[in-house]
Each structure stands twice: as structure tokens, then as C-alpha cells.
Chain A
Amino acid sequence: GDSVTQMEGPVTLSEEAFLTINCTYTATGYPSLFWYVQYPGEGLQLLLKATKADDKGSNKGFEATYRKETTSFHLEKGSVQVSDSAVYFCALSGGGSYIPTFGRGTSLIVHP
């Protein structure tokens, strides 16, 4: 079945550092790929998405490019802020099954 693998956290950075959170996936078909963010005490919310190969999703300074050849969708941000501290989930849907598939989440902690 479909699966999503994310790097384990927590990822701890200083403010203004560069962020990469790795995400790879396994799916049949051509899934859409998503990054969701969960701030403390809240539900998940969409951060960005990409629906086909080579698409780049971007929002709030975060970017991720749908790489079909490496089955990856790594999340990047050039300069993180303390307010970016949250848990980030990579997800896919529309692959081999209609069940949305989430990674295990990566906690990001940004220090001033």
C-alpha cells in the first residue's frame, strides 16, 4: 500500500537557520503530495501541496518540489522563525488507494 516516510525529529534550529525536512513516499499511480503543519494545541492545517511531478508548492516562505524520479517531497525554508515551531506532516492521497496517508510527523523547535 501507499506509505510516507519522514525524517525523525525533533529538529532543533536557531532562528534564521535553513530548514530541510525530508519526505519520501511509495505509491502506485500519481498521488498528490501535501505538507501539513500542526501548531501546539491545534489541528493540522495545509501548508502547501503539489499535484503533479515537478510542481513546486510554496507558502509562508516554505517550499517543496514534487520529485517523481526520487519519490520525494522535501520541505525547505531559507530562514526559520521561532513562530515556525510546530509539527510538520508529509502526506499523500490519490495514489494506489483513496485513503489519505500521513507520515509520522517531524517536530521542529526554533530557538531565538
Chain B
Amino acid sequence: DTAVSQTPKYLVTQMGNDKSIKCEQNLGHDTMYWYKQDSKKFLKIMFSYNNKELIINETVPNRFSPKSPDKAHLNLHINSLELGDSAVYFCASSQDNAGGVETQYFGPGTRLLVL
């Protein structure tokens, strides 16, 4: 069974379009995250939710909006896509963000290419 799953795995789209990426975890974790990884493998945290509540919101353009319908799901919607949004987006989850000491479990990634 896949612990953290993301869809789609690949996403190719035109500039200006709106797209969504979905994430689900079946580990029963309380906290979920979105990361962006650039072509040099640099990993940047974007958002984190704990029990459906936004707790981390790093410097990310307003075009990115996370949504957590329940604690097992965290989706990422991107409006007006730009070339610079091309990257690999990873979802992750952990048991509890209290003190942030828990191991994170990562999904397989969504490879977004904006043309």
C-alpha cells in the first residue's frame, strides 16, 4: 500500500493555465506538507497543515493555494501558471508537528512542466 500518493505524476501545461495536484496519505498522520524541488535539487517548503489547519505558509506567490479537506488529504492549486513554476512538487506527511521532530514521509512527486 502506498503511504503518501500524489496525482498526477507528470503535468505538462501552458503558461497562464490553472492546475491542481492532489495528495493523500494513509498513515494516519496529523501534519502534511508541500515542497518544491528545483532542477538543482534544492528543496523549499511551501506550506504545512496540521489537522486541516494551515501552520506553515512560506514566502510563496498568492497564485499557490493549498486546501486540506480532511487530515488525510492536502491539495495544491496553482493559478496562472508561469515558466518558473516548472519543478517537482512533493507532498509529505508526519505524525505531529509539535516541535517538528517527527520523520517526514514523502510522496513520489509531481513533475510540472510549464511551456
Cross-chain contact B103 with A43 (CB below 8 angstroms): no
Q: Within the assembled complex, what's the spacing in Å between the Cα atoms of A102 and B92?
A: 14
A12 nearest CB across to chain B (Å): 16
Q: A32-B101, A93-B100, A94-B101 are in contact. Are A43 and B108 (CB under 8 A)?
A: yes
A44 nearest CB across to chain B (Å): 4
What are 6 A-to-B residue pairs whose CB atoms are below 8 Å? A31-B101, A34-B103, A42-B109, A43-B107, A98-B99, A105-B42
Please give the residue numbers on chain A whose beta carbons come within 8 Å of chain B beta carbons, in ascending order.
Answer: 31-32, 34, 36, 38, 42-46, 49, 51, 87, 89, 93-94, 97-100, 102, 104-105, 107
Closest to A99 in B: B56
Q: B104 an interface residue at 8 Å Cβ cutoff? A: yes
Contacts of B107 in A (CB 8 A): 43
Cross-chain contact A104 with B42 (CB below 8 angstroms): yes
Q: Which of B41, B42, B101 has the most CB of A within 10 A?
A: B101
Cross-chain contact B55 with A89 (CB below 8 angstroms): no
Cross-chain contact B41 with A42 (CB below 8 angstroms): no
A6 nearest CB across to chain B (Å): 11
Q: Which of B43, B48, B58, B106 has the most CB of A within 10 A?
A: B43
Closest to A44 in B: B106
Q: B90 an interface residue at 8 Å Cβ cutoff? A: yes
Cross-chain contact A38 with B41 (CB below 8 angstroms): yes
Q: A42-B108, A43-B109 are in contact. Are A51 and B43 (CB under 8 A)?
A: no
Contacts of A42 in B (CB 8 A): 108-109
Q: Within the assembled complex, what's the spacing in Å between the Cα atoms of A94 and B94?
A: 13
Q: Within the assembled complex, what's the spacing in Å between the Cα atoms of A66 and B30?
A: 27
Contact of B101 among A36, A45, A93 (CB under 8 A): A93
Contacts of A87 in B (CB 8 A): 41
B20 nearest CB across to chain A (Å): 19
Q: Within the assembled complex, what's the spacing in Å between the Cα atoms of A53 and B58?
A: 29
Contact of B45 among A31, A45, A89, A99 (CB under 8 A): A99
Chain B 43-55 interface mask (CB, 8 Å, partner A; 1/0): 1010010000001
